[in-house]
Structure 1
Amino acid sequence: MGKRKSKKAGSSVERKAFSINSPDFADLIGFRPTYSGVSVGGQSALYVPAVLQAVRLISETIGSLPCKLYRETAEGKEAAKDHSAYRIVHKRANEWTGAGDLRTRLTADALIYGNGFARVVRFEDGSPFELHRLKPGSVSALENAVTGAPVYRVSEKAGSRDYPHTEILHVPSFLATSPITFGKEGIGLAAILERHGAQFFGSGARPTGIISNDKPQGSEAGAKTMANVRASFDEWQKGGGPLFLDSGWTYDQPAMTSTDAQFLEHRLEQVREIARVFGVPPTMLFELTRGTWSNTEQMGAQFLQLCLRPWLDRWTDAMTTVLLSEDEQDDHYFEFVTDDLMRADAASRTANMTALVTNRIMTPNEVRAILNLPPLPGGDELSNPHTTSNAAPAPAPAKEPA
């Protein structure tokens, strides 16, 4: 293994200061309310079902994708299974955490709190041995005032300790800020709509039926009659049999008004708004109003290209920084296997790759490398498999003896 150059963080560390009246300070301590009056934080936002689904969708998908360490060779690439980092990213991050579980947890930390952190535990020779998750609240991202390199101050039992950027795996969200922070107004409105609906139906705000009489019922006899009608109605609701009313009494059941329909549309719009905040297709948050078989498949491809791809790039950059030495970074790289996500559009993908091979743009082995398949003998030739122009002529049949 290549030797890592020693780069100490130095003693000069710069910390960002906030005025107590600054909005940034309110965001930092988590006490800045929304205009709707609802306080939206990392944990409280998860009680909004659309937010929970978005966080779970992104983090669990990244955790389920296999990650491998590859080494460049003269023939292409090969899995670097002899490297200690291969086991960390592909099998187990440590004794009690699988590699996928750690990616799921750190991605969720980044989505909820803005950043996900893990500390590298190394062998005596400096090669990586394990990754240990750090609670986001225990890590402060600082900056070396001399070099400008990140420095991470970690709160430990014995006090705080500063680590250089090569010892802390850091997976940030966009601008190192949680999407929940950027979208707190939309999430707060969704929480209010859900709370209003729960209270509305929970308190029985809408009557199950309206029983009326054209004649005034203000007398004592009228009150007794109304009590009897109420008792008959309650029994009817329990048993489901026919309801008999005396002459003059009518029963009406309230219908859904335009206000009710607008309330439901508002709830659907907030699901779409939360989908925009996290960059996921609305159909993946189970908002299927305009979902069809064709556009749902395309949205699945967009989920990989527009939502997951930036996250996967952040992950590979973070792992390269802490798990590979500077010499190893020249010919080693991490890669996620995304074949399972691409299979949703298998027909168009297969047609595209077939055209690349038949038109002699790519070799069969180059296509197989994209599919994470091993090379085949003779697969490095630019030839059209559907033609026989390059094939050797068939041998002539043997002449029969006279």
Structure 2
Amino acid sequence: MSIFNKLFHTNKASPKNTLSSTMSFLFGSTTAGQNVTERTAMQNTAVYACVRVLAESLATLPLHLYQLTDDGGKQRVNDHSLSFLLHDAPNPEMTSFIFRETMMNHLLLWGNAYAQIIRNGQGQITGLYPLMPDRMDVNRARNGELYYTYTRNYDDYQAKDESKQVVLLSDEVLHIAGLGFDGLIGYSPIAMAKNAIGLSLAAEQYGSTFFKNDATPGGILEHPSVVKDPERLRKSWQSQFSGPSGHSIAVLEEGMTFHQLSIPPDQAQFLDTRKFQLDEIARIFRIPPHMIGDLERSTFSNIEQQSLEFVKYTLNPWCVRWEQAMNQQLLSKEEQGRYFIKFNVDGLMRGDYESRMNGYAIGRQNGWLSANDIRELEDLNRIPTEDGGDEYLVNGNMLPVKDAGQFYQTKTTGSDQA
């Protein structure tokens, strides 16, 4: 065994799927007493809003296949089999938007997104079908290659009399992994932040229970003597003075007194807790609070900047993660040097109308934007080439720095000769 095999032997270990039994401790009960899974977490409005914002934002971005040109530029490719799958429909049952939204939803909840790659006899990709992450197990064969074991629905394999589990090779699966510890399997953000999400669910449940009881706090009934049947008395009191009957007038007999025990929501800082958990969950997904409905600290002067920061620091890393995974797994070795897949986020990076027009004016006057370049950025029809739509213009008063004194020297020389 060489020294390199000894050093990097751990890289050949079987990856640990966060959804396998060995990592089941990540999900489940929290310190707040709530059971948090990817599905119960989506019942929290903040989690649902964050996942929806990210999934829909990525799904709406234009996604194209490009080819590198000899002059160092790039051009869109429309005659490749991947072009239609990525931009229009990856399979007959889904649009590109639905496919990417579903995959991003899996990625945000489970930390991994899987899609089965369908190829024809020539090896060309003809379809992409999302697979549920909670049914996928990732392992490594003895030869070092990864393989994926997918557990199908009971009805699927029973109706077709086929095996319950399907083994897929690495070239049959598009796997987009989130943040993880081994670089192969992503860890679920929901599992990692289960206590924060559990606290939010607990606060929501507390509020629901409080208002279910008609906002009437709990307490105890004190009797001056021995009560023969305390259980019957408790049930009788609850049936008459809890829920919709919480504000009924109670008549206490035999010298009984009522003592309030529970802390009112204002003293328990119930609303403050719910507001803080909203920010806490937004922090998990790196979402600006105003994008999930919290406008408490947003103003007209900073909300545009926050939206641009969302594209740069939140959405763009996800785009790069998607792009590199697709370039590596959907393109052949021969194609990877000539083609690449890329999202277009330029539309989201645009500022207000006045800022865009000022920027276009600078580019137009300095010769690095033509009229058609600007019109394409604004999604307008092109001006015919014969009408000057592709011409690049420069300001006639501008000269290279090295030629700045040329006119003065020419004038001085002419005066001396005269």
Higher RCO structure, 1 or 2 (CA under 8 Å, sep 6+): 1
Alignment of 1:26-65 (within 5 A): 27-28=23-24, 31-65=27-61
Alignment of 1:70-109 (within 5 A): 70-74=66-70, 76-109=73-106
1:382/1:319 Cα in 2 relative to 1: closer, same or farther (>3 Å)? same
1:112/1:258 Cα in 2 relative to 1: closer, same or farther (>3 Å)? closer
What amino acid is the match of 1:182? M
Which residue, 159, 175, 180 being the options, matches 1:170? 175
When structure 1 is superposed on structure 2, of 107-116 and 315-324 the one drifting more is: 315-324
Hey, what's the Cα distance between the residues in 1 that align with 2:288 and 2:98? 24
The residue matched to 1:204 in structure 2 has which SS? coil
Which residue, 168, 176, 201 being the options, matches 1:191? 201
When structure 1 is superposed on structure 2, of 373-382 and 274-283 the one drifting more is: 373-382
The residue matched to 1:121 in structure 2 has which SS? strand
Deviations 1:173-198 (A, max 9, x none): 22211211121111111111111111
What amino acid is the match of 1:336? F
Q: Report how far residue 117 of structure 1 moved.
A: 0.6
**Scaled by the length of structure 1, what TM-score is found?**
0.71
Q: Report how far residue 322 of structure 1 moved.
A: 2.9
1:95/1:54 Cα in 2 relative to 1: closer, same or farther (>3 Å)? same
What amino acid is the match of 1:67? L
Hey, what's the Cα distance between the residues in 1 that align with 2:107 and 2:85? 20
Q: Report how far residue 262 of structure 1 moved.
A: 2.8
Hey, what's the Cα distance between the residues in 1 that align with 2:99 and 2:302? 32
Q: Report how far residue 81 of structure 1 moved.
A: 0.6
CA contact (8 A) 2:64 2:83 kept: yes
What amino acid is the match of 1:15? S
The residue matched to 1:94 in structure 2 has which SS? coil
**2:148 corresponding residue in structure 1:** 152
Hey, what's the Cα distance between the residues in 1 that align with 2:340 and 2:310? 24
* Residues 1:314 and 2:324 aligned together: no
Hey, what's the Cα distance between the residues in 2 that align with 1:375 and 1:261? 65
Alignment of 1:294-305 (within 5 A): 294-305=301-312
Contiguous gaps of at least 5 residues in structure 2? 1-11, 181-185, 218-243, 248-263, 400-418
Deviations 1:22-76 (A, max 9, x none): xx95743665421112111100001110000111111111112221111122463
Count of residues in correspondence between the two structures: 326
Give the alignment's Cα RMSD to 1 decimal: 3.5
Hey, what's the Cα distance between the residues in 2 that align with 1:67 and 1:81? 12
Hey, what's the Cα distance between the residues in 2 that align with 1:197 and 1:309? 37
Percent identical residues = 30
The residue matched to 1:270 in structure 2 has which SS? helix
**1:328 corresponding residue in structure 2:** 335
Alignment of 1:128-143 (within 5 A): 128-143=125-140
CA contact (8 A) 1:127 1:323 kept: no
The residue matched to 2:273 in structure 1 has which SS? helix
Hey, what's the Cα distance between the residues in 2 that align with 1:389 and 1:308? 39
Alignment of 1:353-392 (within 5 A): 354-355=361-362, 358=365, 362=368, 364=370, 371=377, 384=394, 386-387=395-396
**Scaled by the length of structure 2, what TM-score is found?**
0.68
Q: Report how far residue 344 of structure 1 moved.
A: 4.6
Q: Report how far residue 334 of structure 1 moved.
A: 1.3
* Residues 1:291 and 2:298 aligned together: yes
The residue matched to 1:129 in structure 2 has which SS? strand
